[in-house]
Amino acid sequence: MARDFYFQTVTGLSWSGPLDKALINIEAIRIAKSGREATDEEQDLLSRYTGWGDTAVLNAAIKRGLQAELSEAEWAGVRASTLNAHYTALPVIRAIWHGLTRLGILQLPEITAIDPSAGNGHFKSTTPPEARSRISWSEVEIDPLTSQVLAMLHPESRVFASPYETARLPANYFNLALSNVPFGAYPVQDDSLPAYLRASIHDYFFARTMKLLCPGGIMAFITSRYTLDKKENAVRKYLAGQADLLAAVRLPNTAFKANAGTEVVTDILFLRKRLPGEKPGDDTWIGTQMMSITHSERDWISKNYDVSNYYVGHPENILGMPSASGSMYGDCEYTVLPDERNLEATIVSALDASLPEDVLAGQPQLVVTNTSTAFEPVDDTLPAIGKKFGLADEQKLTELQEIYALGQELLKTEVAAGANALVTNLRERLNSAYDLFVGKYGCINERQNARLISGTPQGAFLLALEVPITF
């Protein structure tokens, strides 16, 4: 029986060049399409699959007969994956696991983890040995070929071979989410979230994952610098309404050059979803400031850029030199040039100085006792979201959706398990979500709120949550 693959050494992966990557990718596809279990040696090769985000690798593979190995649909999938198939360097992932260890994740008896943009599963494959038996993984990968590679590497995971927006995943379930999320200014079609939360794919991954995290859960994502730096702050306000930013670290533009052949400025963000009734932490990270940054070689050139307040207050967490030098995508763009420091050690040092220690160890933990139904397909989306209402009403609908999901989950759990700690936890979370809604918008049955859900299958359930008081 095939076992999950884990890296056994602390060294990074290396290749001799684009042709080496191309040949490994082609052989990995042959193994993945064989339909059988992979041997240990084959899993080792599959772990070196890099995808097609580097055009030099794709061109080398085409010259070596890649298209002959693929169906038309598979070839279309390869071409579609080129925008975001940039896999994460192992030293960066190890540093993230170090940060999670500092937070106390390894002290939890059970961990439910999700990687919503898994690629070939490096985040799981780098799990510390002492945590492997305690983590139940769900991994999502949109590319059909890569998802086959992933399933062969991690046969014990729930692998969703689908876009993130169509994967049926339970709300308030996971206590750990880690990934290198897609970057891009293109929208996602998912009417369960307001339009502003799905206008950019990286924003969508944050917003949807926040719904899936249970209170107290940790999100550790690698993302575009624009998650924190863009001037429009509506998405950050949404996230800050539910979670605290524990730490952010900005990487030099070469962090993913060896693995993915790309130069891009990225951030590692650690967020923690607050427990019911917990007071918000510092939210200054919602805002940005205009900063003048000088070209590294032509010091007479400087440009103004919006930069997150977090980095204004923590410039030591920018692991390199900010510069207007540009990147492989254009001249005089904001970038972060590398210095001589070891990247993994520098990230670890920054996280040690920024993250609170053992924050997870003493907090109440959600223990899921009815996992057999947690992933069953359900259709509980309020259909009005994002279709005919303004931004303020969309926010109401998002919060009503959360109340509905918690109410349904509470009923199912009460039927399946009776009175236990999970039921108590769910009831407290439902009460907290309801009280928050009423404090902001008034009772659900009030006209301005009831009109939003009138005629929907969920409306009757939500309206019935409030018992009219008579004298």
Is 215 part of a structural domain of the chain? yes
Whether residue 470 has pLDDT greater than 50: no
pLDDT category at 382 given cuts 50, 70, 90 is very low
Which residue type does 339 have? D
| HSE value, Cβ hemisphere, 13 Å, CA-based, for 226 | 13
CA torsion through residues 101, 265, 188, 448, sign: positive
H-helix segments, 241-369: 257-260, 309-313, 343-354
CB 369 within 8 A of CB 420: yes
**402/328 same-domain check:** no
Number of domains in the chain: 3
Last residue of a domain, one of 81, 110, 136: 81
More confident residue, 470 or 151: 151
Helix (H, G, I), strand (E, B) or coil at 394: helix
pLDDT category at 326 given cuts 50, 70, 90 is low
Q: What is the pLDDT of residue 302?
A: 81
Is 9 part of a structural domain of the chain? no
pLDDT category at 367 given cuts 50, 70, 90 is very low
Least confident of 54-58, 118-122, 283-287: 54-58
**215/75 same-domain check:** no
Last residue of a domain, one of 354, 382, 400: 354
Q: What is the pLDDT of residue 446?
A: 87
Q: Write the pLDDT tens digit of every residue in 397-411.
A: 888 888 888 888 888
pLDDT category at 467 given cuts 50, 70, 90 is low
Q: Write the pLDDT tens digit of every residue in 278-321.
A: 899 999 999 999 999 887 667 767 889 999 999 999 999 999 99
Last residue of a domain, one of 64, 81, 98: 81
**50/105 same-domain check:** no
- How far apart CA 265 and CA 254 sit, in angstroms, is 8
Is 294 part of a structural domain of the chain? yes
CATH no. for residue 188?
3.40.50.150
Residue 68 belongs to domain spanning? 18-81
Directed axis angle between helix 144-153 and helix 18-32, to 10°? Answer: 80
**69/190 same-domain check:** no
**67/138 same-domain check:** no
CB 92 within 8 A of CB 345: no
- How far apart CA 357 and CA 352 sit, in angstroms, is 8
**77/95 same-domain check:** no
Average pLDDT over residues 26-44: 92
Average pLDDT over residues 33-51: 91
- Where residue 230 falls (left for φ over 0; alpha for ψ -120 to 50; beta otherwise) is beta
Q: What is the pLDDT of residue 394?
A: 74
Whether residue 391 has pLDDT greater than 80: no
Q: Write the pLDDT tens digit of every residue in 214-256.
A: 999 999 999 999 999 999 999 999 999 999 999 999 999 988 7
Is 197 part of a structural domain of the chain? yes
More confident residue, 325 or 172: 172
**70/94 same-domain check:** no
Whether residue 380 has pLDDT greater than 50: no
**143/291 same-domain check:** yes
- Of the segments 121-130, 293-302, 366-375, which one has the largest average pLDDT value? 121-130
CB 58 within 8 A of CB 23: no
Q: What is the pLDDT of residue 448?
A: 86
Is 469 part of a structural domain of the chain? no
CA torsion through residues 42, 43, 45, 50, sign: positive
Q: Write the pLDDT tens digit of every residue in 190-209.
A: 988 899 999 999 999 999 99
Average pLDDT over residues 84-106: 89
- Provide the mean pLDDT of the chain: 85
Is 374 part of a structural domain of the chain? no
**304/159 same-domain check:** yes
Is 371 part of a structural domain of the chain? no
Q: What is the pLDDT of residue 258?
A: 53
In angstroms, what CA-CA distances link 51 with 22, 146, 440? 9, 7, 46
Contacts of 324 (CB under 8 A, 6+ apart): 293, 294, 295, 296, 301, 302, 303, 305, 332, 333, 334, 335
